[in-house]
Amino acid sequence: MRTKWLRGGISVLALALVFASGWLTRNLVANRLMQSGGAVVVQRDFAPALADARTPASNLDVSEPSMVTLYDRVFRLVRDEYVEPVSADKLTHGSLEAMLAALDDPRSQFLRPEQREQFARALNGEIQGIGAVLTVVKRKTTLRVGDETAPLEQNLLQVVAVAPNSPAEKAGLKSGDFIDAIDGQWVISEDPFAEIAQLQRMHSPREQIRQASERARKRLENSIAISEAIRRLSQTPTDAKDAKPLKLTVKRAGQTLEVEVARATTRVRPLEYRMLQGRWGYLRPNLLNAAASREFANALRTLKQGGAKGLVIDLRGVAVGQQEPALQMLSLIATKRQVAQVEYRVGNRYKTRPLNLPKPPQPANLPVAVLVDRGAYNVAEMVALAIRQTANARIFGMPTFGDASQTNLYQLKDGSGFTLTVGRYMGLDGAKFHQKGVQPDVRVAAEPRMRGQLGGDPVLERAVSWLQSQEKRS
Amino acid sequence: MRERGRAWVYTLLLMPLLFIGGFVVSEAYAVLTYSSPSLLRDSLRDLTRRETLEPTDAFRSALAEVEAHYYGKPPAIDKLTYTSIDGMLGALEDPYTRFMDPDAFRRMQEDTTGSFTGIGALLEDAPGGARIVRPLPNSPAQKAGLQPGDIIVAVDGKSLERVALDEAVRLIRGPRFTEVKLTIRRGENEPFTVTLKRDLVESPTVDVYLEDDENKIYRIWLQNFSEKAPTLLDRALRQIKQEGGRAIILDLRANPGGLLDSSIEVASRFIPGDKVVVSVVGRQGLLDQKSTLRGRYANLDVPIVVLINGGSASASEIVAGALRDHKVAPLIGEDSFGKGLVQTVIPIPPNTAVAITTAKYLTPNGTDLNAKVVDGKRVGGLKPDIEVKNPEDWRMTEEDKARDKQLQKALEVLRDKLHATKEGNGILRAQGEAEVNR
């Protein structure tokens, strides 16, 4: 009787095992298929860092499959019926460009293969063109026509930061400058016909409308789109005859300046460091990428061995960065594993999740002075705030740029790609800095004559005197 | 012993079934919960996706990413899809290949079935409303006694004080035979209200002008290629013959085109014999050739010139190109618009459609009528044989005729011809008849 039960048990177990192996086999095959690519087009390339990493996009389904079918129908019809042969790539690029543009977010952009390549190079510290990081900022303003006003939306091309030793730096471009025209061509920042629409609403005399439309047409004739302007500014001409400098019309603090700037390849050194007064370790990452992160670890070791009593981390003008290397650097400073929060969208609601270091921190346990200015942008801003909130640290300088977008880069099979804002960084305590910027503890407006040199850098001097006060206290 | 053996057999039989069962349940679980890739769904997808489906794949993946992970609130999925399709078609840089979303498709259907009509008056912007430039003949506006200079200040009680002209036109238009109440200000008088019944308004198609009384040179202004255009043209040609016209200017300026059939009819009046008027060429080569229609030649034994400008498009260009290629008339004026493309509207159920340029028109000599965009500028269309530009602010009105250099040039050319071929008319006629009789 007992053996019968035993045998029965064994059979049931065996059958259960067989069932499970069937289950697993399918999953294995499915996963293998998924890895081998199949129809997978989109892959995360950098800064995934979503704490709960999700299934790749090829398995994500659109909530309305009928829309995908519609797209497919139209594509096939055009491919088969259009009067001339069409390039499928061109159609894809056109549609993705439009889709991402419809999000109306400067940080979510389609990248053509050459732009995508440029993007990758910039992340490696090889910046083409004038050597500045540019962004498009939206501004709501009013249009004045006669004694009436109408709302007007502007898209302005702004310099976030200039790379060290770049043509832009030599030409004197500054973080915060607006580029209004290139070689006399107006960079289209607003609808030039808005005035006419308003005049028509006001039933202004025909002649006045005609003149306004003449003006608008003239203005438009001699203009370039923002995307074209960015392309021109971030390309190093290969042809000698195109190599002449660009004449930029720049708006800075209400003034209009003419600036002549060359275009060349700027190679940015990932990190510079030195000991100040034999006691303060000064670290200046020029970007926050993998190379900078490696060098940061080495430099920190050297400085500590040299007897550093405090650290200065100079993030002024750091506008190129990736989240992962930045977190690696943070793990040598922060005393907690969680360094920030990220706000993200689920359906129609917003949630937050912690932003954690990839491994437990190994902090240097030294007081840290962080130097920032308007040119500290995005990941650098997050880092400054994280250091402030997870270590014995103070922030010196001016408020940062104020772009808290957490951005993913996606790559498509043909070498094109796109960026997408997937979240918004917040401080550990939930403090938001989007558009406001990270505020310094000690505000120092004076610009350095010699950056990183005591005696020529007022922000650095304030930082060092704070470090001294920390040393006395301990 | 036998029973135990049977139990083993059952177990052995059950094993593969259970294996398959595990497989199937796992698949079902994957399909239902989207927890892992589904073999069934994906392989079906791959089967239906043998051809290069890169664009749809890329689109689906990107759309799914945006929907699931984009930080901001994305536009509705259908709107985002329409925008993407617009972008896809925009990459062709052909303004006529376009997607019609449900709204646009509905509007197109209404437009072509003509169920929306107006009051038949030309309007312009004016302080406080829309000014009537002139009511069209036999229009509701004319029947109601509206006069040039009247200002419409309200439509159905809604003031036009703060309304732009195109919006005012939208308010005035509506379904045929419905009523619209207009508040009119005439001069300094108190505004009054009239009620009009909306109706189809026929815009005039053919006007005839005697431009040179001494040499009897007539100008036929063909304003569009409506269904009635050939009949109206016949009437005009008869009138010119009766009045002893000795030369004709066929004015196709500002003629945006119309029906292809009408353009073949019109060309047949001027081109003797059985000749190709236009070739239709698609992706796979020649699709169709339209030739002059038998017995439609108007037996014209007079010199002809054709006027074209940037407003001459489509059917106008077909006629002008055919007349030029068959050496019936030289072209005078400016480059034509350059729309030599054939669109096919393909409805996509349930409620959208796509208009695709499926073919292009070539003149008898093989000139591509379509303009291309090169470096942001339109290049192409028909080149005139004699290029004459009018001032940019010139208007095609009676009042502005003095500044019409193109017309003056046409008269000059015809006068020269008349004087040079005074004795040649007989020969021309004989040739013409011979061709017709062949």
Check which CATH number belongs to the domain holding A443 and give it. 3.90.226.10
**Contact with chain B for residue A224, Cβ under 8 A:** no
B173/B123 Cα distance (integer angstroms) = 13
Q: Which residue has the higher pLDDT, A177 or A106?
A: A177
Chain A residues in contact with B74 (beta carbon < 8 A): 103
- The closest of B152, B210, B148 to B180, measured between CA atoms, is B152
Residues B135 and B141: beta-carbon distance below 8 Å: yes
Q: Is B139 assigned a catalytic role?
A: no
- The closest of A453, A282, A273 to A366, measured between CA atoms, is A282
Condensed to tens digits (0 to 9), the pLDDT of residues A191-224 reads 888 888 788 777 777 778 888 888 888 888 889 9
**Same domain? A434 vs A387:** yes
CA distance B220 to chain A (A): 31
Count of CB pairs separated by less than 8 Å, A with B: 285
A225/B298 Cα distance (integer angstroms) = 53
**Torsion over CA of A163, A165, A171 and A174, rounded to 10 degrees?**
30
In a domain, A44, yes or no: no
SS3 A120: helix
Is the Cβ pair A410, B52 closer than 8 Å?
A: no
How far, in Å, are A11, A179, A224 from residue A232 at the CA level?
73, 12, 10
Q: So what's the pLDDT on residue A48?
A: 30
Q: Which of B139, B226, B312, B314 is catalytic?
A: B314
Q: How are the residues of chain B apportioned to helix, strand and coil, as percentages rounded to the nearest 5?
A: 40, 25, 35
- The closest of B261, B263, B275, B276 to B438, measured between CA atoms, is B275
Q: Domain with A251 in it: what CATH number?
A: 2.30.42.10
**Same domain? A218 vs A365:** no
Q: Which residue has the higher pLDDT, B117 or A377?
A: A377
Q: So what's the pLDDT on residue A39?
A: 31
Q: Is B314 assigned a catalytic role?
A: yes
Q: So what's the pLDDT on residue A47?
A: 31
**Contact with chain B for residue A150, Cβ under 8 A:** no
For chain A, how big is the Rg over CA atoms in Å?
27
* Nearest residue in A to B356, CA atom: A82
Residue A241, classified by CB atoms within 10 Å of its CB into exposed (0-12), middle (13-18) or buried (19+), is exposed
DSSP annotation of B199 reads: B
Q: Which residues in B287-311 are b (16+ Cβ under 10 Å) and which e?
A: eeebbbbeebbbebbbbbbbbbbbb
- Arithmetic mean of pLDDT over chain A: 87
DSSP strand pairing (B174-175 vs B179-185): unpaired
**Same domain? A249 vs A283:** no
In a domain, A322, yes or no: yes
- How far is C-alpha B29 from the chain's CA centre? 53
Place of tokens 């794949």: B57
Q: So what's the pLDDT on residue B376?
A: 64
Closest residue to A81, CB basis, from B25, B84, B344? B344
Mutate to test the interface with B, among A92, A93, A116, A199 (most CBs of B within 10 A): A92
Final residue before a domain boundary, out of A195, A226, A261: A261
Number of helices (H), then strands (E), in chain B: 12, 21
Q: What are the pLDDT tens digits along chain B (438 aa)?
A: 566 677 778 878 888 888 888 878 877 776 665 445 556 655 554 444 433 447 888 899 899 999 999 999 999 999 999 999 999 999 998 888 999 999 888 877 765 544 456 788 878 777 788 888 777 777 888 888 888 889 999 999 888 887 777 788 888 888 778 889 999 998 888 889 999 988 877 666 788 999 999 999 999 999 888 888 899 999 999 999 999 999 999 999 988 888 888 999 999 999 999 999 999 998 888 888 999 999 999 988 899 999 999 889 889 999 999 999 999 999 999 999 888 888 888 999 889 999 999 888 999 999 888 887 776 677 778 999 999 999 887 878 777 889 999 999 999 999 999 988 655 443 344 333 333 332
In a domain, A172, yes or no: yes
Residues A220 and A234: beta-carbon distance below 8 Å: no
**Same domain? A96 vs A23:** yes
Closest residue to B80, CB basis, from A94, A102, A422? A102
Q: Which residue has the higher pLDDT, B259 or A72?
A: A72
Chain A residues in contact with B52 (beta carbon < 8 A): 88
**Same domain? A255 vs A165:** yes
**Same domain? A286 vs A162:** no
Element (DSSP H or E) covering residue B282:
strand B276-282
Closest residue to A39, CB basis, from B45, B64, B358? B45
Residues B113 and B129: beta-carbon distance below 8 Å: no
Is the Cβ pair A19, B22 closer than 8 Å?
A: yes
Q: Kindly give, in sequence order, each residue whose CB lies less than 8 Å from that of residue A168, ignoring residues fewer than 6 positions away.
A: A130, A131, A132, A159, A162, A261
In a domain, A374, yes or no: yes
Q: Which residues in A50-75 are b (16+ Cβ under 10 Å) and which e?
A: beeeeebbbbbbbebeebbebbbbbb
Q: Which of B339, B404, B409, B417 is catalytic?
A: B339
Place of tokens 């020649």: B286
CA distance B389 to chain A (A): 19
Final residue before a domain boundary, out of A261, A281, A302: A261
Final residue before a domain boundary, out of A221, A238, A261: A261
* Nearest residue in B to A345, CA atom: B71
A68/A91 Cα distance (integer angstroms) = 15
**Torsion over CA of A457, A462, A464 and A469, rounded to 10 degrees?**
170
B412/B432 Cα distance (integer angstroms) = 24
CA distance A139 to chain B (A): 18
In a domain, A338, yes or no: yes
In a domain, A54, yes or no: no
Q: Take residue A287 and report the two structure tokens written for it.
A: 């970007």
- The closest of B396, B395, B361, B364 to B381, measured between CA atoms, is B361
Residues A394 and A366: beta-carbon distance below 8 Å: no
Place of tokens 């040739």: B431
SS3 B164: coil
**Same domain? A237 vs A282:** no
Residues B247 and B298: beta-carbon distance below 8 Å: no
Q: Report the percent of chain A where pLDDT is more than 70.
A: 92
- B290 - beta bridge partners? B278
CA atoms within 13 A on the CB side of B75: 15
Chain B residues in contact with A101 (beta carbon < 8 A): 87
Chain A residues in contact with B77 (beta carbon < 8 A): 62-64, 67
- Going along chain B from its start, the domains and CATH numbers come out as 115-202 (2.30.42.10), 206-436 (3.90.226.10)
* Nearest residue in A to B344, CA atom: A81
- How far is C-alpha A77 from the chain's CA centre? 38
Chain B residues in contact with A203 (beta carbon < 8 A): 125-129, 161
Chain A residues in contact with B26 (beta carbon < 8 A): 22-24, 26-27
pLDDT band at A474 (very low <50, low <70, confident <90, very high): low
- A159 - beta bridge partners? A134
pLDDT band at A147 (very low <50, low <70, confident <90, very high): confident
**Same domain? A101 vs A248:** yes
> Is residue A298's pLDDT more than 90?
yes
Chain B residues in contact with A67 (beta carbon < 8 A): 63, 77-78, 81
- The closest of A51, A233, A14, A50 to A135, measured between CA atoms, is A233
**Same domain? A436 vs A322:** yes
- The closest of A327, A322, A283, A419 to A124, measured between CA atoms, is A322
**Same domain? A163 vs A29:** yes
Cα angle A68, A73, A74 (rounded to 5 degrees) comes to 100
Number of domains forming the structure of chain A: 2
In a domain, A4, yes or no: no
In a domain, A343, yes or no: yes
**Same domain? A351 vs A246:** no
CA distance A465 to chain B (A): 41
Using a cut of 0.90, tell me whether the model's pTM lies above it.
Answer: no
Element (DSSP H or E) covering residue A204:
none
ipTM above 0.95, yes or no: no
Chain B residues in contact with A91 (beta carbon < 8 A): 55, 88, 91-92
**Same domain? A187 vs A282:** no
Query: What are the residue ranges of helices labelled H in A337-443?
Result: 379-390
Instruction: Give residue A338's domain range.
Output: 269-473
Beta strands of B120-222 (E only): which ranges? Answer: 121-126, 129-135, 151-155, 158-159, 174-175, 179-185, 192-197, 206-212, 217-222
Count CB atoms within 10 A of the CB of residue A218.
11
Mutate to test the interface with A, among B70, B162, B287 (most CBs of A within 10 A): B70
**Contact with chain B for residue A418, Cβ under 8 A:** yes
Residues 27-46 of A with CB under 8 A from B: 27, 29-31, 33-34, 38-42
Is the Cβ pair B11, A81 closer than 8 Å?
A: no
Is the Cβ pair A201, B56 closer than 8 Å?
A: no
